[in-house]
């Protein structure tokens, strides 16, 4: 995996879309803060600086047998396995949310570019609420810290998440 980390960026997905031609397969963009994080249907993904995992993965030159749904299923499983290590059981809610006790703890945004029947790229953006405890205006949000009553070292958790994400290397 080729990892690039930014203190502040508009959107990890946007960065990959803008630079996909020059970046290799399995480039990972991590941000400590996004000024314009996005979710489905152009919804904004709100996140406090240095409190959450904000990451996007770029997949290029995929085999014709690899489908977007396969990548999405793997991403969901990676997030669920990661959270389960802390005793948090997250359920997938269509189209792209992970929920705990009826509250959103993580979300995904998958964007693709396809030419004829070939996927030129797939970008998977993932946001996981880790230490954030105040979600003003979002009563249906939660975080790992709220669920476990602990705070976490974001860098250490990101390393754990990246290790869990090694499953993507099989694509």
pLDDT at position 171: 78
CATH classification at residue 56: 3.30.930.10
Residue 128: what pLDDT? 97
Predicted pLDDT of residue 114? 81
In the DSSP assignment, the letter for residue 24 is P
The structural domain count of the chain equals: 1
pLDDT at position 66 is 82
DSSP count for the chain of H helices, then E strands: 4, 7
- The whole-model pTM stands at 0.92
d(CA 3, CA 28): 5
Is the backbone of residue 145 left (phi > 0), alpha (psi -120 to 50) or beta? alpha
Distance separating alpha carbons of residues 61 and 23, to the nearest angstrom:
12
Per-residue pLDDT tens digits of the chain, which is 171 residues long: 999 999 999 999 999 999 999 999 999 999 999 986 555 545 555 678 899 999 999 999 887 778 889 999 999 999 999 999 999 999 999 988 999 999 999 999 999 988 777 788 999 999 999 999 998 777 789 999 999 999 999 999 999 999 999 989 887
- The reported pLDDT for the residue numbered 37 is 59
- Report yes or no: 66 and 49 within 8 Å, Cβ to Cβ: no
pLDDT of residue 44: 56
pLDDT of residue 46: 64
Task: Write out pLDDT tens, residues 111-132.
Answer: 998 877 778 899 999 999 999 9
Note down the domain range covering 113.
2-170
What's the rounded Cα separation, in Å, for the pair 66 and 122?
A: 11
Q: Could you tell me which residues are beta bridge partners of residue 167?
A: none
């Amino acid at each position: 995996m080729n990892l690039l980390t930014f203190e502040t960026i508009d959107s990890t997905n946007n960065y990959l879309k803008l630079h996909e031609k020059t970046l290799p397969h399995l480039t990972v963009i991590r941000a400590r803060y996004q000024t314009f994080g996005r979710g489905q249907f152009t919804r904004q993904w709100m996140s406090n600086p240095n409190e959450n995992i904000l990451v996007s993965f770029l997949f290029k030159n995929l085999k014709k047998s690899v489908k977007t749904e396969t990548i999405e299923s793997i991403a969901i499983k990676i997030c669920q396995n990661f959270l389960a290590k802390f005793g948090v059981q997250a359920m997938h809610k269509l189209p792209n949310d992970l929920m705990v006790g009826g509250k959103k703890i993580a979300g995904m945004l998958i964007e693709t570019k396809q030419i004829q029947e070939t996927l030129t790229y797939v970008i998977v953006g993932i946001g996981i609420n880790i230490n954030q405890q105040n979600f003003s205006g979002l009563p249906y949000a939660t975080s790992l810290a709220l669920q476990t009553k602990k705070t976490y070292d974001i860098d250490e958790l990101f390393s754990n998440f990246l290790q869990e994400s090694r499953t993507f290397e099989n694509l």
